[in-house]
Amino acid sequence: MKASLEKLVAQLNEQRRHFSTPCYIYSLKDVANNYRKLKDSLGTSLIYSLKANSCLDLIVRSGHVFEDGIEIASIGELNLLPRGESPRYINNPSADKSFLRAAIASKCTLVIDNLSQLEIVKEFQGKRPINPLILRLNPSTLDQFEESTTVTKKDHFGLGWGDVESALAFCKENDLKVGGFHVFRGSYNFSKLANSTAQAALQIVHKFESALGYPIGLVNLGGGFDLNWESHEFDFEHYRNLLGEFPSHIQIAHESGRALMASAGYFVTEVRYVKSIEGQQYGVCDGGMAQNFLLAKTESTFKRYSQPLILREGRVLEGDSKPQNCLLVGTSCNKEDIIGETKGVALQPGDLVIFSNCGAYNASYTVAPFLSLPSAKSYLME
Ligand SMILES: *Cc1c(COP(=O)(O)O)cnc(C)c1O
């Protein structure tokens, strides 16, 4: 059993009353380890993408871990964060004037999505210091620099290449300093696309510097690491060598949410009732999709429910491969509110159900105030 899960089980056993269910429990140590491991493998800066998990206590307590900065996508997230020393990047196609103003006032670095945002930034010029701007490049801008054509899904983020050229000219003309660029080719795509992204980015550095007439400082190559990034056969050494070809004045960064947070979080709910309908067993829990939307797998066509660990009176019950299963259902009156299943364990009221890998998007990507159900509490452990 993973060390943090073992610790969690011990804490639930010793201090059950301390935890109100349903709840998320995050391991500070796992967050720090995940960050270190990924950053060391990449050999670059690593920015935390806040939308994966914005639990304030967790971010504050992990603030020192995210030494290369945090990326924020909304004014709500900006207001959430206490001011700190590490850089803040704000990045959202819909960022409006008041968000951009607030971001400049709190010394964030702006990642510019479109030419209209650039016009707004120009209005603020001279009123407050503005950090060198980062231009967000749409993934399609890489195509022209790639040797082999990689087929990726289109998205609406950032500037197309024509607009990149206009933006560079606009910044030069108006004395808006450009610090570099940022490209993100979507979640889960790192191992497939990283090498070609880096090769294209290397050429884009030269395009930027010759258009601007001065060196840029930052290239953010995006991320797209999945939870199990370590188990893929990706040659990090080769990748680090490739990154070594960037000019030494360039700081290279990657960014991640999922890979840093997912495995650091657990979701715990208690079984209230057990019943059976036409031979199908159900465990009715005190938490469900209203606190952990992703577990209900509403976005997958073929649902494979997570199989949680069961804790009963201090003992961990192991399931087996018996076909008889029990579906774990939540509190929302929605027939999709099935968050997991157990096999080979006859559930009882009072059992605690512990789901692993719930640290990224499970809490933040949950549709909150349905039926005025209580939200999940969050706890931290060392
Ligand atoms: C959401 C997002 C990320 C984080 O994606 P993960 O899959 O959680 O690593 C990184 N960069 C940008 C621009 C994003 O919007």
* Residue among 187, 261, 365 to mutate when testing ligand 1 (max atoms within 8 A of CB): 187
Which pLDDT value is given to residue 59? 93
Which pLDDT value is given to residue 371? 64
* Residue among 31, 49, 112 to mutate when testing ligand 1 (max atoms within 8 A of CB): 49
Measured from the Cβ of residue 302, the count of other Cβ atoms closer than 10 Å reads: 5
Which residue, among 374, 358, 266, has the nearest Cα to 12 in the 3D structure? 266
| C-alpha 353 to ligand 1 mean position (Å) | 29
Rounded Cα gap, residues 152 and 69, in angstroms: 28
Protein residue whose Cα sits closest to atom 12 of ligand 1: 184
Chain-centroid distance, C-alpha 278: 41
Which residue, among 179, 195, 227, 245, has the nearest Cα to 359 in the 3D structure? 227
* Main-chain phi, psi angles of 160, to 5 degrees: -75, 170
Which residue, among 106, 139, 346, has the nearest Cα to 222 in the 3D structure? 139
Which pLDDT value is given to residue 299? 81
Cα separation values, 382 from 49, 127, 159, 178, 303, Å: 22, 44, 42, 40, 34
Residues with CB under 6 A from ligand 1: 49, 51-52, 91, 184, 187, 222-225, 255-259, 360
Q: Which atom of ligand 1 is nearest to the CA of 52?
A: 8
- What is the residue-level pLDDT of the chain in tens, covering all 382 positions? 999 999 999 999 999 999 999 999 999 999 999 999 999 999 999 999 999 999 999 999 998 999 999 999 988 888 888 777 789 999 999 999 999 999 999 999 999 999 999 999 999 999 999 999 999 999 999 999 987 777 778 999 999 999 999 999 999 999 999 999 999 999 999 999 999 999 999 999 999 999 999 999 999 999 999 999 999 899 999 999 999 999 999 999 999 999 999 999 999 999 999 999 999 999 999 999 999 999 999 888 888 999 999 999 999 997 777 777 999 999 998 999 999 999 988 899 999 999 999 999 999 888 766 667 788 999 999 9
Sketch out the chain's domains with CATH numbers.
28-261 (3.20.20.10), 264-381 (2.40.37.10)
Check if the beta carbon of residue 53 is closer than 8 Å to that of residue 364. Answer: yes
| Residue type (1 letter), 338 | I
Which residues have a Cβ under 8 Å from the Cβ of 160 and sit 6 or more positions away?
138, 140, 141
| C-alpha 224 to ligand 1 mean position (Å) | 7
This prediction's pTM: 0.95
Residue with tokens 């059950």: 16
Rounded Cα gap, residues 54 and 307, in angstroms: 25
Protein residue whose Cα sits closest to atom 2 of ligand 1: 49
| C-alpha 281 to ligand 1 mean position (Å) | 38
Which pLDDT value is given to residue 370? 65
Q: Which atom of ligand 1 is nearest to the CA of 257?
A: 8
- What is the DSSP secondary structure assignment for residue 152, as one 8-state letter? -
* Residue among 256, 261, 357 to mutate when testing ligand 1 (max atoms within 8 A of CB): 256
| C-alpha 51 to ligand 1 mean position (Å) | 8
Q: Which atom of ligand 1 is nearest to the CA of 261?
A: 8
Task: Spell out a b/e string for 82-120, using b for 16 or more CB atoms within 10 Å of the CB, else e.
Answer: eeeeebbbbbbeebeeebbbebbeeebbbbbbbeebbeb
| C-alpha 222 to ligand 1 mean position (Å) | 8
Q: Which atom of ligand 1 is nearest to the CA of 187?
A: 7
Rounded Cα gap, residues 367 and 361, in angstroms: 11
